[in-house]
């Protein structure tokens, strides 16, 4: 009964408070010219970078934005618990600092590192041994999912023919209701439209 | 944005003893419907009642309303575009207020578009008005497009009108960013409901100005008298019995450089927030 009463009288946030918080967030986004989800990505990536050099209490780590006079300041509060013995900057992160040097890979070459934006992977990485080898497409895909940044698009390697065949198959299955004759035609001539189809499915 | 470029260092203008060189102030907000026109009319009427020579310029071409709020709609014969296009002289287009010899209106064209106004011409017109009037108050249209640019072009100062709503504060913030960097716009918070603020159901003065961080010129409560005054075309600032009118008179006095009881008294977000807002402003210097 007491709990019920407590629940009944528990002060919900007033609409004034809600307005205040909405206003804070919308202006933050306005001033930075960044979409809210990009701000979230920025926070996550920043912590991922820090985790390469130091161990920290991730439960109490926070990145906040504060409105100063006419600009926004980004403040990171990261309680450091230990320093990693051998910090190792990711080559991809160095590329990220200078967009003109972003690699444009040809012929399905391996990316320099598959560790750019996978914060979970970075957090898990404690020893000096390199991260497990991953198939290039997988790495590129996971980046695109986790952080929709242009960088991820720039490092997508050219798809291998076998893969585009698979993608075409998926596409065909999706469009099962269309005429079987069309399917047969597509199977005979899988390129190049199906490559385009795969790209749009990925994006 | 060329029109808003201003020198980094502002030099004192060379004094010209023969002419007035009044202040041109634009009343703007970004968002529509927050009370720019009512604010313009009331500050203008209050300044005129103080003995200042005032002209109100309606820059809302196509949607003019300042004449209605002032109750002067039947007197308007010509408008700002007639002047800019040299169909009539400036003196012919100015409408004298029926209550005050110090107050004039330059109406906007109702059947024209904002794009018809050439920014440089508007700027030159405001310059001319500054030679005859101590205050040139420009009622800016909503938005941040051509009409806004024309309204701001001739001004040297801005008053931002903002209601305690998320959308209005956001737009006000945007507009402040579009004004010249050297300006220090002043803020009027309009339509505040002290009772709602007290209950935590409305953004407080502190909440709004914690974001905008502008010098606070005044706070106007949301009260039925404003609508009644608009119905009648009688600015509340001229009603000695109205507390809101007193608030407008205090704003005008502050704008004119007189010492007025600080509106900071009003900003306590909870508790001690008296509903009799006007009384704080009543103590005119």
Ranges of residues in chain B whose predicted pLDDT is under 70: 1-19, 261-285
Q: Is B207 on the interface with A (CB under 8 A)?
A: yes
Q: What is the pLDDT of residue A36?
A: 72
B285 found inside a domain: no
Q: What is the pLDDT of residue A7?
A: 58
B1 found inside a domain: no
Residue B271 structural domain: 21-280
B58 found inside a domain: yes
Is residue A176 predicted with pLDDT exceeding 60?
no
Q: Which three-class secondary structure string do you get for chain A?
A: CHHHHHHHHCCCCCHHHHHHHHHHHHHHHHHHCCCHHHHHHHHHHHHHHHHHHEEECHHHCEEEEEECCCCEEEEEECCEEEECCCCCCCHHHHHHHCHHHCCCCCCCCCCCCCCCCCHHHHHHCCCCCCCCCCCHHHHHHHHHHHCCCHHHHHCCCCCCHHHHHHHHHHHHHHCCCCCHHHHHHHHHCCCCHHHHHHHHHHC
Give the residue with greater pLDDT, A66 vs A152: A66
Closest CA to B272 of B215, B182, B194: B194
Contact between chains at A30 and B174 (C-beta distance less than 8 A): yes
Which residue from A14, A22, A27 is facing B173, i.e. has the nearest CB?
Answer: A27
B4 found inside a domain: no
Q: What is the pLDDT of residue B26?
A: 98
Question: B-contacting residues of A 44-73, CB under 8 Å?
Answer: 67, 69-70
Q: Is B140 on the interface with A (CB under 8 A)?
A: no
Q: Which residues of A touch B175 (CB under 8 A)?
A: none
Q: Is B268 on the interface with A (CB under 8 A)?
A: no
pLDDT band, very low/low/confident/very high, at A35 (cuts 50, 70, 90): confident
Residues forming beta bridges with residue B137, ordered by sequence position = B25, B56
Q: What is the pLDDT of residue A75?
A: 87
Q: Is A20 on the interface with B (CB under 8 A)?
A: yes
Q: Is B203 on the interface with A (CB under 8 A)?
A: yes
Q: Is B184 on the interface with A (CB under 8 A)?
A: no
Alpha carbon of A53 to those of A56, A61, A85, A195: distances in Å?
10, 15, 8, 40
Q: What is the pLDDT of residue A125?
A: 43
By DSSP bridging, strand B95-96 and strand B103-106 are antiparallel
Contact between chains at A26 and B204 (C-beta distance less than 8 A): no
Q: What is the pLDDT of residue A59?
A: 87
B2 found inside a domain: no
Q: What is the maximal distance between C-alpha atoms in chain B?
A: 58
pLDDT band, very low/low/confident/very high, at A95 (cuts 50, 70, 90): low
B187 found inside a domain: yes
Is residue A86 predicted with pLDDT exceeding 50?
yes
Overall average pLDDT of the A93-105 stretch: 51
Is residue A142 predicted with pLDDT exceeding 60?
no
Q: What is the pLDDT of residue A178?
A: 40
Which residue from A14, A16, A23 is facing B211, i.e. has the nearest CB?
Answer: A23
Contact between chains at B166 and A16 (C-beta distance less than 8 A): no
Give the residue with greater pLDDT, A62 vs A12: A62
Give the residue with greater pLDDT, B159 vs A147: B159
Q: What is the pLDDT of residue A144?
A: 37
Residue B213: phi, psi to the nearest 5?
A: 50, 55
Overall average pLDDT of the A6-30 stretch: 78
By DSSP bridging, strand A80-83 and strand B186-192 are unpaired
- Range with the poorest average pLDDT among A18-22, A138-142, B168-172, B215-219: A138-142
Contact between chains at B211 and A67 (C-beta distance less than 8 A): yes
B5 found inside a domain: no
Q: Is B204 on the interface with A (CB under 8 A)?
A: yes
Rounded to the nearest angstrom, the minimum Cα separation between A28 and chain B is 10
Rounded to the nearest angstrom, the minimum Cα separation between A69 and chain B is 8
CATH code for the domain in which residue B113 is found: 3.40.50.300
Is residue A183 predicted with pLDDT exceeding 80?
no
Contact between chains at B165 and A19 (C-beta distance less than 8 A): yes
Rounded to the nearest angstrom, the minimum Cα separation between B202 and chain A is 5
Contact between chains at A16 and B165 (C-beta distance less than 8 A): no
B262 found inside a domain: yes
Closest CA to B172 of B137, B201, B220, B140: B140
Q: What is the pLDDT of residue A38?
A: 81
Which residue from B166, B200, B201 is facing A26, i.e. has the nearest CB?
Answer: B166
* Number of folded domains that form chain B: 1
Give the residue with greater pLDDT, A87 vs B81: B81
Q: Is A16 on the interface with B (CB under 8 A)?
A: yes
């Amino acid at each position: 009964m007491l709990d019920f009463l407590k629940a009944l009288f528990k002060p919900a946030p007033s609409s004034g408070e809600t307005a205040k918080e909405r206003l804070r967030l919308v202006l933050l986004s306005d001033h930075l010219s960044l979409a809210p989800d990009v701000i979230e990505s920025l926070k996550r990536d920043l912590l991922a970078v820090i985790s390469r050099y130091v161990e920290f209490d991730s439960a109490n780590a926070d990145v906040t934005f504060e409105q100063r006079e006419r600009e926004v300041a980004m403040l990171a509060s990261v309680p450091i618990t230990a320093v990693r013995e051998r910090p190792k900057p990711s080559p991809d992160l160095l590329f990220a600092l200078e967009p003109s040097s972003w690699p444009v890979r040809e012929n399905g070459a391996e990316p320099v590192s598959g560790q750019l934006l996978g914060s979970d992977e970075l957090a898990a990485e404690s020893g000096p041994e390199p991260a497990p080898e991953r198939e290039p497409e997988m790495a590129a895909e996971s980046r695109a999912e986790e952080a929709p940044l242009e960088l991820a698009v720039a490092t997508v390697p050219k798809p291998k023919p076998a893969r585009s065949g698979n993608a075409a198959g998926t596409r065909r299955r999706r469009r099962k209701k269309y005429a079987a004759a069309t399917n047969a035609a597509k199977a005979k001539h899988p390129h190049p439209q199906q490559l385009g189809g795969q790209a749009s499915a990925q994006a | 944005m060329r029109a808003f470029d201003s020198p980094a260092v502002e030099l004192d203008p060379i004094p010209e003893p023969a002419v007035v060189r009044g202040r041109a102030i634009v009343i703007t907000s970004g968002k529509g419907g927050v009370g720019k026109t009512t604010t313009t009319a009331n500050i203008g009427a209050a300044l005129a009642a103080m003995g200042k020579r005032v002209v109100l310029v309606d820059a809302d071409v196509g949607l003019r309303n300042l004449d209605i709020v002032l109750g002067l709609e039947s007197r308007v014969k010509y408008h700002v575009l007639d002047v800019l296009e040299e169909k009539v002289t400036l003196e012919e287009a100015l409408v004298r207020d029926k209550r005050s010899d110090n107050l004039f209106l330059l109406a906007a064209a109702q059947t024209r578009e904002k794009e018809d106004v050439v920014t440089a011409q508007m700027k030159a017109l405001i310059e001319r008005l500054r030679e005859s009037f101590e205050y040139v108050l420009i009622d800016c249209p909503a938005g941040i497009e051509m009409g806004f640019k024309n309204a701001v072009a001739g001004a040297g100062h801005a008053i931002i009108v903002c209601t305690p709503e998320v959308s209005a504060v956001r737009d006000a913030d945007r507009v402040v960013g579009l004004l010249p960097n050297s300006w220090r716009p002043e803020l009027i918070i309009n339509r505040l409901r002290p009772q709602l603020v007290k209950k935590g159901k409305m953004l407080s003065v502190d909440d709004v100005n914690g974001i905008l961080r502008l010098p606070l010129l005044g706070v106007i409560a949301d009260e039925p008298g404003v609508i009644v005054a608009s119905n009648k075309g009688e600015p509340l600032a001229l009603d000695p019995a109205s507390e809101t009118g007193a608030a407008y008179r205090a704003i005008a006095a502050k704008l004119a450089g007189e010492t007025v009881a600080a509106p900071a008294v009003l900003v306590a977000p909870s508790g001690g927030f008296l509903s009799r807002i006007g009384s704080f402003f009543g103590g005119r210097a």
